Structure 1
Amino acid sequence: MINSVYIHIPFCEKICHYCDFTKFFYQEQMADDYLIALAKEMDYYFKDDDSKKAMRTIFVGGGTPTALNVTQLKTLLKLIERHFAIDLVKEYTFEANPGDLNEDKIKLLKAYGVNRISMGVQVFDNQLLEELGRLHRVKDVDHNIDMLHKHDLNNVSIDLMYGLPGQTVDGFRASIAKALSYDLPHYSSYCLQIEPKTIFYQRYQKGKLNKPPEEIEAEMFQLLIQEMERHGKHQYEISNFAEMGAESQHNLTYWDNQHYYGFGAGAHGYLPGQRIVNLRPFPAYVKEAKNTGRPVLHVERIGKKEQIEEELFLGLRKRSGVSRTTFSSKYGVALERLYDQQIQTLIAKGWLEEFQDGIRMTEQGQLFGNDVFQQFLLDDEIESIIK
């Protein structure tokens, strides 16, 4: 059953120095063309079914969806409403950049059923914001949070980053304190990753990026966990913290290895037995979507082996970990039959721990997540066991 959908809006007023997502500078005509193409793609998937789909979650991300002007934003919201039963959606999220939101856009989002805003703040330091290539400043966050509360859009999450060039532990502590001063129900925080084809990557290659050493990044991460827990925001995934009941239901779709639609340039969809990756370049996406309705770059077959591997990679990101009962129910084989040696090795390292019905990463293990995940790749000869 597919009960979640991701929709990608790739436009930004400015390209951040660290970002490797599919994104383009906002131009009004480009955005108009993109929305027509997006409508063609969504129509293709639902062309034989006039009834509206009942979705548990809808997430509109980017880029910056709120970079669209009011007319375009309304066109997008009406397109989504045409295909999905909005009144049945439990969590309907729009990403937004501070400063992009104004009262007209907030009223429009609210009127069309959007009930959650995810805001890309990144850091509460105007100098660092400029060095990241961000357009907003701290005062814009204050203003947008006030406006959202004014219109009863209170389910707000903000993103923070750490491990930034020139950032100190005390500087990150100040950002955490400012973020927590809003007392929002949800926070996300990510360590800066240097990705190819970004401005930061070019500087890194030239030795001109003053990134903190790994031990300082680890100290920042531990500080983050401590401060969030101290303020009643429990860590439910490596990078995500929430009040009880305010966890991101859409992101849990990913971490629970469930299926979802993905629409837009560069979007990924995960349908039964296949992962669909869309074309990224703007001209290619728009042309193929308008001509065929299916702007697909490639389709990857997801067999049982790949599903099991992803169950571990994604499930171990959650603090609730991987349940033995759920695993054996989904895949017809006991977790230990496939992974007993790996589990025992990781427990001995202090990176994994057992609980009553499963396994989860320790706080130390979260610092070595990729090393942990690699242990759960399966050999091809395992196919005979999992068939």
Structure 2
Amino acid sequence: MPKAVYVHIPFCEQICHYCDFNKVFLKGQPVDEYVAACEQEMQATVAQFPFEEIETVYVGGGTPSALSANQLEKLLGSINDIFRPKGEFTIEINPGNAEDEKLDVMKAAGINRLSIGVQAFQEDLLQKIGRTHNENDIYDTIARARKFGLDNISIDLMFGLPHQSIEMFTETLQKAVELDVPHFSAYSLKVEEKTIFHQLFRKGKLQLPTEDDEVAMYDLLINTLINSGYNHYEISNFGKLGFESKHNLTYWNNEEYYGIGAGAHGYVNGFRYANVGPIKKYISLVETKGLSKMENHKVTDNERIEEEMFLGLRKIEGVSVSQFMERYQKSPYDIFGKEIDQLNEQKLLNITKERISLTRKGLFVANEVFEKFLL
């Protein structure tokens, strides 16, 4: 039974060159109708699959803070009325587009965690990746958020970006740590299809750091944040004690969650589903049917076992052997004994009686490790 909700807001005032999430330019879009459709989908989803208690909500995008204050108030009010969340309530915002009026609405609606898309501190680099904010917008947005008591802040950073040097990433980390926020998510660039960067890459016009430099950036990230008092609790995530992302742990713990909105994914009653992406099609389907599922896949036992391993191994603490046995009536060693032994010999896994986790060496080749657990 789901204890978490993800709500997708696909509208953006600017399309970032690396982003492959479901998104559209805000101008001219039926935003009010979309917000109303999200409320209808929430109601229909809960009617079909009731919940006992919602522990986390995450409003992502796109750019949720691109909505007007009135639209945000309507959306967040619907979430509160239908799901009555009890714990972590996160919304993504961009530096420079979360005015005081919007922050006031967020605070009044019970938002208690902000995820801010900083990515980098060098303004030339921000322009090259399609961001519209500048360095001062970062400081201003965080200061104003704290003024409203919104001090549980997570910052997104990126490395392995075009034209990004190790020295630039060092500077970004230094400035980020000085902000003294309780959480960081930091991701290496993956050139995804249907993005501006992919078009440039195909034309040979995307100047990326070398693989060695990208590895050095990840090593620098880990060392800098650990030495600054952050707990490295997931491959790409670092938090001060008690500030780990409870919502994202839902995914890594292979637990169920509702997905609301165009292009959103969910996992309910043993089925993983995806909503249609086009905005008008989403609205039309919800208005006529209440739901807008494009895909609805029954997760097989083998798929659940695979996901338990590669999602669990994303966490630094790794996979719980006892939880695995409780869920599947077998231990990981019964199913993957040979693979675990091989990875252990290669010093890519730490093995204890209760846990299987990646070593520091394993973190740098995580995807190769995960592939070993496909049945």
TM bucket (normalised to shorter chain) is: over 0.9
In the superposition, the TM-score normalised over structure 1's length comes to 0.95
Per the normalisation by structure 2, the TM-score is: 0.98
- Residue in 1 aligned with 2:275? 278
Counterpart check, 1:136 vs 2:138 = no
What residue number does 2:23 align with?
A: 23
Q: Distance in 2 between matches of 1:105 and 1:54?
A: 27
Of residues 126-135 and 350-359 in structure 1, the stretch that sits farther from structure 2 once superposed is: 350-359
Aligned to 1:382: none
Q: Report the Cα distance in structure 1 between the residues aligned to 2:315 and 2:240, rounded to whole angstroms.
A: 15
SS in 2 for 1:43: helix
Matches of 1:332 and 1:222, distance apart in 2: 38
Deviations 1:61-95 (A, max 9, x none): 00010100111111101111110224xx2100000
Question: Which residue is 2:185 aligned to?
Answer: 188
The answer to whether the 8 A contact 1:36-1:290 is kept is no
Give the C-alpha shift of residue 28 in structure 1. 5.8
Q: Does 1:60 align with 2:42?
A: no
Task: Measure how far apart 1:150 and its partner are.
Answer: 1.0
**Counterparts of 2:312 and 2:237 in 1: how far apart (Å)?**
14
Amino acid at match of 2:57: I
Q: Any unmatched runs of 5+ in structure 2?
A: none
Answering whether residue 4 of structure 2 is matched by residue 4 of structure 1, we say: yes
C-alpha distance in 2 between matches for 1:91 and 1:40: 23
Aligned residue for 1:33?
33
Q: 1:305 & 1:356 partners in 2: Cα distance?
A: 23
Work out whether residues 3 and 51 of structure 2, in 8 Å CA contact, stay in contact via their aligned partners in 1: no
Tell me if the contact between 1:77 and 1:112 (Cα under 8 Å) persists in the aligned partners.
yes
Q: Measure the CA separation in 2 of the matches of 1:281 and 1:345.
A: 45
Report % sequence identity: 43
| Letter paired with 2:17 | H
Q: Which of 115, 122, 127 is the equivalent residue of 2:124?
A: 127
- CA deviations over 1:282-328 (Å, ceiling 9, x no partner): 22211111111111101011021111100001000000001111111
Gaps of 5+ in 1: 379-387
Give CA deviations for 1:26-76 in whole Å, capped at 9, x if unaligned: 136521121122122112123479x99621000000001010011111110
Matching residue within 302, 314, 318 for 1:305: 302
Q: Does 1:236 align with 2:233?
A: yes
On the 8 A contact 1:257/1:311 being kept in 2, the answer is yes
- Alignment correspondent of 2:110: 113
Displaced runs of 4+ in structure 1, greater than 6 A? none
**Contact conserved, 2:351 with 2:357, CA < 8 A, in 1?**
yes
348, 373, 378: which one aligns with 2:370: 373
Answer with 170-179 or 29-38: which moved more. 29-38
Using the alignment, how far apart are the partners of 2:321 and 2:295 within structure 1? 33
Look up the equivalent residue of 2:63 and give its one-letter code. T
Q: Secondary structure of the equivalent of 2:229?
A: coil
CA–CA distance in structure 1, aligned partners of residues 47 and 363 of structure 2: 44
The aligned counterpart of 2:44 is: 44
Specify the code of the residue in structure 1 equivalent to 2:319: V
For 2:258, which of 258, 261, 264 is the aligned residue? 261
Aligned to 2:68: 69
**2:329 aligned residue:** 332
CA distance in 2, matches of 1:148, 1:108: 12
Shift of 1:273: 1.5
Q: 1:287 aligns with which of 284, 289, 310?
A: 284
Q: How many residues align?
A: 375
Alpha-carbon contact 2:2-2:51 (below 8 Å) kept:
no
What amino acid does structure 2 have at the position aligned with 1:37?
A
* Separation in structure 2 between the aligned mates of residue 222 and residue 96 of structure 1, nearest angstrom: 28
What is the DSSP-based 3-state SS (H/G/I as helix, E as strand, rest coil) of the residue aligned with 1:224?
helix
Q: SS of the residue aligned with 1:93?
A: strand
User: One-letter code of the match for 2:16?
Assistant: C
Q: What corresponds to 2:214 in structure 1?
A: 217
CA distance in 2, matches of 1:27, 1:292: 27
**Letter matched to residue 16 of structure 1:** C
Measured on the aligned residues, the alpha-carbon RMSD in Å equals 1.4
Asked whether the 8 Å contact 1:52–1:83 carries over to 2, the reply is no
1:272 Cα deviation after fit: 2.2
1:96 alignment counterpart? 93
Q: Shift in Å at residue 148 of structure 1?
A: 0.9
Aligned equivalents of 1:199 and 1:66: distance in 2? Answer: 23
**Alpha-carbon spacing, 1:48–1:163, altered in 2? closer, same or farther (3 Å):** closer
